[in-house]
Structure 1
Amino acid sequence: MLLTIIIIGLMLPQNYSVNKTIEVNASIRTIKSLTTDFDEWHKWSPWQQVDPSIKFAVSEPSAGIGAHQSWISKWGHGEMTITALNDRKMVFNTLLNNEHIVQGTLTFTTNSNNSVNVECHIEGQATTILVSGYMAIFSEYVLNNTIALGLNNLKTVAQLSDIQNVMESHDSQNSTSKN
């Protein structure tokens, strides 16, 4: 029985891929400020909800190409670096437990109704000896759910941020100055 489980595990694909998209009714500027600066990730990132033991450290620079964050939790440790960035895309690499590399992209597409589609694509390869296939299935399952949660959080935070900015703008325009 154990031999059968191992053989099946060896035959399963070791690669996994997750792709999720969400429409956000906020400006691309707001969305990018939340996603391309690791100092802003605590506002929407799902990882604290998934694993309350996680502790993040953000290095300098915190934003843009070369931005770096690391973490430690009861499940291990990791680090993420932004490797490319332009008007429509952020590319990042993640290293988990000093052995497992995950590549990801966030793509931002403005729609005709001024909303923004945010697409998150993650791909990686499980490298655990004998059980890589099972780990790939598990990783894909966890990431599917966690990325969906993160994109929903991002949508909420970005939309509320844009509403707050509009309200503050109206307040400042409606205030009277004392002479």
Structure 2
Amino acid sequence: MKEPAREWLAQAVRQVEADPYAIHGLFAQAERRGGPGARRALLGALHGDHAVLHGLYEAGDSGEKLAILTVLHELDSGGTEVGLVEDALRTNDARLVAAALGPYGSAWLDDHSFRQGVLKCVFMSIPLAAVAELDRRFDAELARMLSDYAAELRAAGRPVPSDVLERS
């Protein structure tokens, strides 16, 4: 990381640690001014301020939401931000859907929501390898759902994705 970026990031982290709401003015420019990983550092400086994190997500663009979803497992160990994951699963942005089923979503989504998220990945052609802890969370109901979907595809004369074939 170049010196100006390192200095900007250090100052930005100090600002967020002193006033968590300062992140709202810094987050959008973080990657450009602070380099790769800058958003992660700013989110870490929130020290679990869930109200600020939630507001930042709600106001964020897709890239900002993606940055938050990607590090949720590092920021919140209590499942309090599962609503952000559920929001991401309602989008049509494949990057957000895949990130929603990362380590945090896989740890905290209820079984029904997790299964629906996995199916959404299949519908959106997101490889099931992107789903964290799929083997641990895989159950008979998810197997049935994938098998039914594979049968529908076959009946329509459409190919069944290989990762669905492996699981159904």
**TM-score interval w.r.t. the shorter chain?**
under 0.3
Structure (1/2) with the larger helix percentage: 2
Name the larger-Rg structure: 1
TM-score normalised to the size of structure 2?
0.25
